[in-house]
Chain A
Amino acid sequence: MNAMTDDWLDIGALTDIPARGGRVVKTPRGCLAVFRAADDTVFALDDRCPHKGGPLSDGIVHGHNVTCPLHSLVISLETGAAANPEEGRVRTHQVRVAEGRVLLDPAALRS
């Protein structure tokens, strides 16, 4: 079981994110994209595609992947890596869901 509890940041309800969709969270070090897959797993990544910085939060979510809206790079939500690893990787952050709330690891705010 997870030991960390109180210091995780409550960023909203799970139902605030459409299933197979993403939302933006603003932080001091730029935007994060928080996704909810069809199976209700939640992921957080930097909202910048490794290719040319496309906003991943605007992409199409399929399985545990998102397709970048600008030039269709497919990024794994679990690892942040592009389908072809040579095309780069996005930083991922810890998130979890408890009692219907989405909790973000505060480490995501630090560079």
Chain B
Amino acid sequence: MTEKLVVIGAGMASGRALEHLFETDPGAYEVTLFNGEPRGNYNRLMLSPVLSGEKSYEEIVTHDDAWYAENRVTTRFGEAVTKIDRERKVVVSKGGETPYDKLLIATGSYPFILPLPGKDLDGVIAFRDIDDVGRMLGAAELPEAKAVVIGGGLLGLEAAAGLRLRGMEVTVLHVMGHLMERQLDPSAGYLLAKDLERRGIRVHCKAQTKAILGQNRVEGVLLEDGTVYEADIVVMAVGIRPETRLARDAGIEIERGITVDDAMRTSDPDILAIGECVEHRGMLYGLVAPLYDQAKVVARTLLADEAVFLPVELSTKLKVTGCDLFSAGDFSEGPDREEIVFRDAARGVYKRLVLKDNTIIGAVMYGDTADGSWFLSKIKAKEDIAAERDTLIFGPAYAGGAALDPMAAVAALPDEAEICGCNGVCKGKIVQAITGSGLSTLEEVRSATKASSSCGQCTGLVEQVLASTLGDGFQLPTAKPVCKCTDFTHEDVRRLIKAGELKSMPAVWQELGWKTSCGCHVCRPALNFYLLADWPDDYVDDAQSRFINERAHANIQKDGTFSVMPRMWGGVTTAAELRAIADAADKFDVPMVKVTGGQRIDLLGVKKEDLPEMWADLNAAGMVSGHAYTKGLRTVKTCVGTDFCRFGTQDSTGLGIRLEKRLWGSWTPHKVKMAVSGCPRNCAEATCKDVGIVCTDAGFNIGVGGAAGLDLKQTEVIHTARTEEEAMDVTVAFVQLYRENAKYLDRPYRWIEKVGLDWVKSLVVDDLQSRMALVARFDHSQSIYQKDPWAERVEGEKRREFEPLADLRLKAAE
């Protein structure tokens, strides 16, 4: 006698299972197929092409009425099962009860909706079935329609690309630092974002959504930082949850999904389950490949044939035409793991293989994914790749050619990329000079184009242009690279960040061919500085790329405690400030209070978790951080000057205070110290500072490039300013030129040795236009970066840096 099989859910998994079942034994079961959606099985993966208009619904139907009729399947579409009665072996739906001998649950997943205010507004749409697509297309017809997609994973991006192709203005909000973080590393995520932006989709990462706005319908989305994006629809694609409700109510065992054994049986042997609703050995699956395997297994189990489901290595592709990405396996880092990274900046190609014990365990690729399946097969087979390791990354087509050109990044620069910032010489002009006039040395290029003839910072790059143009005809001198992650020097990196308008770390890593996937403790702090100095508006400071002193805004001591040093503008204080410092010292049991060599007071030995509270107290007394720990402005020492001294010629104390107030809070390549003395007796020791001003009756002698630390150096005077304002401008312009050009961790005197004092003078003193432009850029940067870090950290999220994650001291050790 034929048994009765009831199937709940006509989705990707059950469609396959029925095919296998009928192929093997068409007469074994009398099948009733329920589906919540008012239609039969269709290819859910193809919803994206339907959305974008590349396919129609009819084209994606996998099983039509004729197929169901032929296989004598009773279809109950649009009729959700509401209950399973295991005692009586029936399922309940609005059409009544249907008995079963065997039951197959294939209810898939439901979209997760973030519990935001406004989530129930009209126009908030998930992306799961054809009706969702219909709703989105309805909105796309409105003139100038705008969509916000929440979620930068596979589904969200496919929705975004589809809506964009339908002419909508689309913004993707993603909470993580880069797109598709589960499948891609930051470099591939960067390339993907770049491609999407090129096709007109706005991508906003690290976006914390606060609320969906609107009266009756969606009108916009509000982020935690106050940004508002207008929207006619909001597509919520933040994840899926296994649809387990029926099974749970029926008392079938579930964890995150319905738990099944290797034969796809649930805890009730007459009930089987497959698809996204199941959990197998702790794993949930959200891609069809493993679900098809489950379908095969369940068909065998239904026919009392033995079969086991084995978890498989998964790979992902994004179905957005023109965005070629591939990821498979495990690509996290580890000491037992090695990586091979290949980048071709010109073509926007990135490939990374993760190796362990001479096998490939993970692969990520972007831009050129042709070899994806070749690598996937090697991952699955756990093949030993030791023998082909050197050429592995080039894929199966590689047949032993020349080694990779290390100059790829320079060769890839477009002709209009500026190589020499001083003289405005672009790459095309240099190449033309080399080929047109048959030049072959740096000197010749210098005299013909002026490139590298001023500050000389771009010398390395000009040489590389020579090398990439002349090939073997030019021997490249070797310079010290930043670190093992790159062959470029600091100077090269700085120029290329400007020339290529690279505004994020992943952009630098990709375009300049970083050899590691995300840098190290040497290059990351330097890059963080370069990017924020060059792009104050675009770059977001990365706390995790900063040394602890700058991250915590206090100076770490040998025992892990910290020192606290409030600013004392120009070395001047008041009784009230001293009282507040004394109170703080008492309240927090400060072991040592010391007067520093920089004319202020240091509270040493403070516990990290006490810092925010101590800062709050000092803030309340009007004091801010003294930045005694930063690569930034430290102190401006002053002497008493005309206020009290019988020799004083100008208001040295006042000028010092004004300089400190103008310059504090800016980030510089290394620390910057200043002093202003009221007369040539020089009581403020101004002649050994990075910038030291010595006043005379005639004006202000501005000296730069002094040092009194590891090296001893006297400042050299670059200008005598007539007014205080002029002295301030020259000082600020000097600091900005230093910020824009120096290598990370070069004090000004070292940088001047490299670029020459004449060049500095020409831009800071002689050329008034250049001076004022430098001042304007500095002031703009200050409008973003001059904030008291103490106040910022006393409040809000940054405070957690100082608090333990958990305190388990009272937890009885079992």
A-side interface residues toward B, CB under 8 Å? Answer: 1-2, 7, 9, 11-12, 16-21, 23-29, 31, 34, 37-41, 52-55, 58-65, 67, 69-70, 72, 74, 76, 78-79, 81, 102, 104, 106, 109-110
Contact = CB atoms under 8 A, between A and B. Distances in A.
Contact of A109 (B186, B560, B805, B811): B811
B138 interface: no
A16 B548 CA distance: 18
B399 interface: no
Given A37-B332, A70-B556, A59 B548 contact: yes
B648 to A, nearest CB: 43
A62 B806 CA distance: 23
B185 interface: yes
21 contacts: A7-B814, A18-B543, A19-B544, A21-B543, A24-B804, A25-B805, A26-B804, A28-B813, A31-B804, A38-B185, A39-B331, A39-B332, A55-B608, A58-B552, A62-B521, A63-B334, A63-B516, A64-B335, A69-B549, A81-B335, A109-B811
A63 B518 contact: yes
B560 A58 contact: yes
Contact of A38 (B186, B282, B551, B556): B186
Contact of A25 (B521, B525, B806): B806
A66 to B, nearest CB: 9
Given A53-B560, A58-B556, A12 B544 contact: no
B333 A25 contact: no
Given A26-B809, A58-B552, A64-B334, 19 more contacts: A2-B282, A9-B806, A9-B811, A12-B805, A19-B544, A27-B809, A37-B332, A41-B332, A58-B548, A59-B521, A60-B524, A60-B525, A62-B519, A69-B547, A69-B556, A76-B335, A78-B336, A81-B335, A109-B814
A25 B547 contact: no
A24 B338 CA distance: 29
A59 B525 CA distance: 12
B787 interface: no
A95 to B, nearest CB: 11
Interface in B165-215: 177, 181, 185-186
B717 to A, nearest CB: 38
B521 A67 contact: yes
Contacts of B389: none
A37 B333 contact: yes
Contacts of B814: 7, 106, 109
A63 B186 CA distance: 12
A107 to B, nearest CB: 9
Contact of B544 (A1, A27, A61): A61
Contact of A9 (B185, B186, B808): B808
Interface in B484-517: 516-517
Nearest to B283: A1
Contacts of A31: 804
A6 B608 CA distance: 32
A109 B556 contact: no
Contacts of B334: 63-64, 78
Given A39-B333, A52-B558, A26 B807 contact: yes
Interface in B514-538: 516-521, 524-525
Contacts of A38: 185-186, 333, 518
A26 B809 CA distance: 6
A106 B808 CA distance: 10
B579 interface: no
A18 B556 contact: no
Contacts of B722: none
Nearest to B181: A40
B521 A72 contact: yes
Nearest to B256: A99
B661 interface: no
Contacts of B524: 60, 62
Contacts of B559: 53
A39 to B, nearest CB: 4
A59 B633 CA distance: 23
Contact of B806 (A12, A41, A72): A12
Nearest to A59: B548
A23 B548 contact: no
A75 B804 CA distance: 21
A58 B181 CA distance: 25
A35 to B, nearest CB: 11
Given A28-B811, A39-B331, A11 B282 contact: no
Nearest to B552: A58
Given A53-B560, A60-B521, A11 B811 contact: no
B681 interface: no
A23 to B, nearest CB: 4
A26 B548 contact: no
A21 B543 CA distance: 9
A68 to B, nearest CB: 10
B805 A11 contact: yes
Contact of B800 (A7, A23, A26, A40): A23
Which residue among B332, B548, B560, B805 has the maximum number of chain A CB atoms within 10 Å of its CB?
Answer: B805
Contacts of B55: none
A60 B521 CA distance: 6
Nearest to B336: A78
Interface string B276-294: 0000011000000000000
B701 interface: no
B652 interface: no
A14 to B, nearest CB: 11
A7 B812 CA distance: 13
A22 B477 CA distance: 41
Contacts of B805: 11-12, 16-17, 23-25, 34, 102
B545 interface: yes
A44 B809 CA distance: 16
Contacts of A9: 806, 808, 811
A89 to B, nearest CB: 12
A16 B807 CA distance: 14
Contacts of A26: 804, 806-809
Contacts of B332: 37, 39, 41, 64
A75 B813 CA distance: 27
Contacts of B608: 55, 58
B334 to A, nearest CB: 5
A62 B813 contact: no
A9 B812 CA distance: 12
A28 B524 CA distance: 35
Contacts of B335: 64-65, 76, 78-79, 81
Interface in B614-662: none
Interface string B104-131: 0000000000000000000000000000
A1 B281 contact: yes
Which residue among A9, A26, A37 has the maximum number of chain B CB atoms within 10 Å of its CB?
Answer: A26
Given A11-B805, A23-B800, A54 B560 contact: yes
A16 to B, nearest CB: 6
A62 B811 contact: no
Interface string B785-809: 0000000000000001000111111
A74 B521 CA distance: 9
Contacts of A2: 282
A65 B805 CA distance: 20
A69 B561 CA distance: 12
Contacts of B331: 39
Nearest to A2: B282
B261 to A, nearest CB: 13
A70 B517 CA distance: 26
A24 B802 CA distance: 9
